[in-house]
């Protein structure tokens, strides 16, 4: 019997956002995430640690990318905002239960 061990490195792309993820910026974020997915990067981590405000348009950009990624076997996972205020919209809409979220990027990448 041959036993061969090895490791698989799953490619994960990280996108770090800073500032406000609102209606003004949602289009740019959607473009970046759409481009990554079109390029075959279906495992995405969006780092929201330094995002201080998220509105429903910003949330929509993340949700659309998550749904598109899951359609092709990938996912969009989030590093949670440090700001309680920015986290609030995920709790109000219960998307904190839909997205895989963690406080550290390493936790997300290790858990993939």
Partner 1 sequence: MTDPFSLELEASHLSLRDIGPWLATVFDASGIGESSSRVSIELAIHELAANSVDHAQPADGRLRLCAAVTGDQLVVGLTDRGKPFDPERKTTPDENRPQVRGYGMMIIEQIATSLDYSRLDEENIWSAHFVVDSS
Residues that bind partner 1 (CB under 8 A): 20, 22-24, 53, 55-57, 59-60, 63-64, 66-67, 85, 88-89, 92-95, 98
Considering the complex, what minimum distance in angstroms separates the CB of residue 31 from partner 1?
15
Considering the complex, what minimum distance in angstroms separates the CB of residue 26 from partner 1?
9
By beta-carbon proximity to partner 1, the closer residue of 91 and 104 is: 91
By beta-carbon proximity to partner 1, the closer residue of 87 and 102 is: 87
CA distance readout (Å), 53 to 2, 62, 79, 99, 105: 54, 14, 14, 18, 19
Instruction: Find tokens 């481009």 and name the residue.
Output: 35
For the four alpha carbons of 40, 43, 48 and 54, in that order, the dihedral sign comes to positive
């Amino acid at each position: 019997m041959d036993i061969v061990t090895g490791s698989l490195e799953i490619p994960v792309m990280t996108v770090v956002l800073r500032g406000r993820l609102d209606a003004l910026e949602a289009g740019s974020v959607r473009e970046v995430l759409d481009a990554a997915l079109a390029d075959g990067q279906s495992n995405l981590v969006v780092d929201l640690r330094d995002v201080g405000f998220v509105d429903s348009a910003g949330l929509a950009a993340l949700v659309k990318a998550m749904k598109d990624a899951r359609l092709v076997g990938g996912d969009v996972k989030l590093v949670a905002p440090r700001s309680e205020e920015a986290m609030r919209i995920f709790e109000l809409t219960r998307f904190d239960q839909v997205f895989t979220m963690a406080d550290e990027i390493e936790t997300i990448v290790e858990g993939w």
